[in-house]
Amino acid sequence: MCSFNPLFGQGMTVAALEAVALRDTLAGGRDDLARRYFAAAAKHIDPPWRMAVAADRAQLGLPRPPAERMRCSSPPS
C-alpha cells in the first residue's frame, strides 16, 4: 500500500503487517471490506512512515512543517 525507503528496512515488516490486517479484515466478512482494511492497515503504516519521513527530513536539513510542530509541541505549563 505504501513504499518505504529500503535504507530504513521497514518495508517487508509493514507489508507483512498489512497481510495480517487483510487476513483479519476478511475474517470479519466482506461488508465494507475496503474501508475496514484501509483503516486497519493505516494503523501499521503510520508510525514507521512518520519515522521515515522525519529521518529523510533531518538528512536533507528540512524544517518540520507547522502542523507537525504543533502536534509535537508540549502544552504550556
More confident residue, 67 or 72: 67
pLDDT for res 72: 59
More confident residue, 2 or 73: 2
More confident residue, 36 or 54: 36
Q: Does the pTM of the predicted model rise above 0.85?
A: no
Angle between helices 11-27 and 33-60 (to 10 degrees): 160
In a 13 Å sphere around the CA of 33, the CA atoms on its Cβ side amount to 8
* 1 touches 41 (CB < 8 A): yes
How far, rounded to the nearest angstrom, does the alpha carbon of residue 39 sit from its chain's CA centroid? 11
